[in-house]
Amino acid sequence: MEMWTHLPFSRVAWPILLFVLIGIGCNDAEGFRMDRLQWERQSWDSLHVQPLFVLDERMKAPVEIRPDLVQVTLFDASYDTLYSGQAGIIPLQDIELGDAERVLMEVCGFYGERVACDQENVEASEKRAIVEYNVTFPQGDHGYERAFVDSRVRLERRQFGEDSWERITPANRKEIWVDAFLPAQESSHIRLPVARSEQRFILTRYGGYRDFRYAIQSSMLDVDSALVRFDLYVGLSDNLEPVATQEIVLRQKSSSEREAEMRLLVEVGGAQVLDAVSGFFGTRRAYVFVNDWSYQALDRVYQATFELHWQDGFRGAWSDMTGEMHVRADGMLGTYTLRRASERAQERWDERVGTLVLELEPLFPELSMDPSQEDSTLRDNEKTGNRR
């Protein structure tokens, strides 16, 4: 004798089984579905969409049926609607789309209260940018603040069913920009939006300029040169690669530029020495004369022997001294060693310095801080009302 035992459904299993039973019942009751989504590309700018719908009735073979309405909707890669309307010949503004951009086609049939839908992916045409590109940097006598970009961009798409290309002019202009950076410094990027074929940029107006300038200055101080790269981009797809690149090497300093840099270091360093030995009333006038100098490229250090002559501000007495300065090209780690001094100057030196060697403060303090420190200093100055 067979025994049947009733096992109650658990709280978890019952809703799942109920859902399955209801789902099967609804599908059997509706029986309306899309059998095939037929579509054909007639050109890059039009599609022929012809879906086939059937009605599956219980215990009967599927019967082809004409829905009350067939709705076709096209979405671009950003899910913006490109088209919404009936099936048949569908227009597609291909030239406004990106390179091989994915277009989602959704087709729905409505039969009474029943709805059946399906989706397909359609690709836009291949597109490319043909460019003439040239960058002048730096431009003029403005340091690293200005650049000139000459970029002439022509857009093309592959002809339908052929290997050749044809020129296109989208109604909505594709975004064009330049990414300027130093390959050795990831934080040095500046994005420059290009609005005209010939455009001058004042780089200080764009985000990231301080990092960009700091990277150039650091590279110039380290290896006497800096490689700056300018990548040109055209917004034809999400997976962007530069369509053109130009690299500019900022060259090493010439001997005349080295001499000018040395004289600037001597001028600033000499002023610090003079401040250390001058009297309470300061100086009325002062002169500096460079006797000898050299540059050690390996260590990036200048050595300069120079004379200081100054007149006191109170009694107008003259003093002089000769010393030797060693300092890095960035103005750091500077020292001044006294070699000879007049009696009055020697007294001041012994009284105020007291050692043979005077350690100098950074000669270019703006280069001794990184951009984040510079921003912090600027904020502090703004709070206290100071301006640099």
Q: Same domain for 139 and 236?
A: yes
Q: Are residues 270 and 221 in the same domain?
A: no
Residue 121: partners with Cβ closer than 8 Å, 6 or more residues away: 102, 103, 104, 105
What are the tens digits of pLDDT across the range 105-137? 999 999 998 999 999 999 999 999 999 999 999
Residue 93: inside a domain: yes
77, 98 Cβ separation under 8 angstroms: yes
Residue of 315 and 264 predicted with greater confidence: 264
Residues 161 and 198 placed together within one structural domain of the fold: yes
Omega within 30 of 0 (cis) for the link into 15: no
Q: Which residues contact 263 (CB under 8 A, 6 or more apart)?
A: 290
pTM for the model: 0.61
Q: Is the pLDDT of residue 381 over 60?
A: no
148 & 205 share domain: yes
Query: The tokens of 232 are what?
Result: 């040109």
Residue 293 covered by a domain = yes
* Of 87, 103, 123, the domain-final residue: 123
160, 44 Cβ separation under 8 angstroms: yes
Within this chain, do residues 151 and 118 fall inside the same structural domain, yes or no?
no
> Is 19 part of a structural domain of the chain?
no
Q: Is residue 207 part of a domain?
A: yes
Q: Taking residues 42-55, what's their average pLDDT?
A: 94
Does residue 144 register a pLDDT over 90?
Answer: no
pLDDT of 143 strictly over 80: no
We report the CATH number of the domain holding residue 203 as 2.60.40
Single out the residue of 143, 138, 131 nearest to residue 248, CA to CA: 138
Residue 15 maps to a domain: no
Q: For residue 223, what pLDDT is reported?
A: 81
Looking at 250, 283, 302, which one is the last position of a domain? Answer: 250
Residue that terminates a domain, selected from 202, 221, 250: 250
- Is there a single domain that holds both residue 131 and residue 241? yes
Number of domains in the chain: 3
Query: Distance between CA 86 and CA 72 in Å, rounded?
Result: 6
In whole angstroms, how far apart are CA 328 and each of 28, 226, 255? 86, 18, 16
Average pLDDT, the chain: 84
- Give yes or no for a contact between 96 and 66, defined as CB atoms under 8 angstroms apart: no
Q: Does one domain contain both 107 and 199? A: no
Residue 270 sits in the same domain as residue 179: no
For residue 58, pLDDT over 90 is answered with no
Residue 31 in this model has a pLDDT that exceeds 80:
yes
CATH number at residue 63: 2.60.40.10
Residue 7 located in a structural domain = no
Burial of 25 (0-12, 13-18, 19+ CB in 10 A): exposed
- Nearest alpha carbon to residue 246 among 150, 128, 139, 144: 150
Which residues, including other chains, have CB under 8 Å from residue 217's CB and lie 6 or more apart?
367
pLDDT digits (tens, 9 = 90+) for 295-319: 987 678 999 999 999 998 777 889 9
> Do 348 and 274 lie in a common domain?
yes
What pLDDT digit, counting tens, does each position of 322-377 carry?
Answer: 999 999 988 999 999 999 999 999 999 999 999 999 999 999 886 555 544 444 44
CB burial of 105-127 (b: ≥16 within 10 Å; e: otherwise) equals bebbbbbeebebeeeeebebbeb
Q: Do 110 and 138 sit in the same domain of this protein?
A: no
What is the model's pLDDT at position 59? Answer: 66
Residue 11, domain member (yes or no): no
Residues 293 and 351 in one domain: yes
| 277 and 246 within one domain | no
| Residue 98 forms part of a structural domain | yes
Q: Structural domain of residue 287, as residue ranges?
A: 255-367
